Amino acid sequence: MKSVIALGSNLGNRELNIDSAVAELAKIIEITHLSTNYETDPVGGPDQPKYLNAVLLAETQMDPHDLLIAMLEIENRLGRTRELHWGPRTIDLDLIICGDLVISSKVLELPHPRAHERRFVLEPWLEIDSDAQIPGHGLVATILQGMQEDL
């Protein structure tokens, strides 16, 4: 199943943190595409350093809940702490979509509920998948075009 994962880091060696997360993810899923890194301003939360963000496409047979658990374990291994909501972090891994699945559970919502609002997810995703779509929201290119028109 095609899955999209967003990566972000704004503490420590941001590039190394993203590279390490990609290496850990590659042990459990087949990564087919990886965007370049994008430096972005933080959204929400306290005053904090800029982020490096990237998006990867992967193929996996893992259940989305199991994939999420594995992603949380990777975050923990790479030093992620959860002291502040939307606070700075060594690594942040977000599961954006898994195929066309729509899931709403206590621990997982797919597609990611705010992905369509986040340029730092959409731009790197479009870089590696020109046909990218978010179920219920449409083409990523169209969503981004709407954001640019709002500037």
pLDDT digits over 85-105, tens only? Answer: 566 788 999 999 999 999 999
With cut-offs at 50, 70 and 90, classify the pLDDT of residue 149.
low
The answer to whether residues 92 and 76 touch, using CB atoms and an 8 Å cutoff, is no
State the pTM of this model.
0.92
Q: Would you please indicate which residues are annotated as catalytic (active-site) residues? A: 80, 89, 92, 94
The answer to whether residues 55 and 124 touch, using CB atoms and an 8 Å cutoff, is yes
Over residues 29-66, the pLDDT tens digits come to 999 999 999 999 887 766 789 999 999 999 999 999 99
What CA–CA distance (Å, rounded) separates 67 from 63?
6
Domain-by-domain residue ranges, the chain? 2-113
Task: Give Cβ neighbours of residue 109 (< 8 Å, ≥ 6 apart).
Answer: 103
For domain 2-113, is the CATH number 3.40.50.740? no
pLDDT at position 151 is: 38
Flag whether pLDDT at 148 surpasses 70. Answer: no
Task: Give Cβ neighbours of residue 39 (< 8 Å, ≥ 6 apart).
Answer: 50, 51, 52, 53
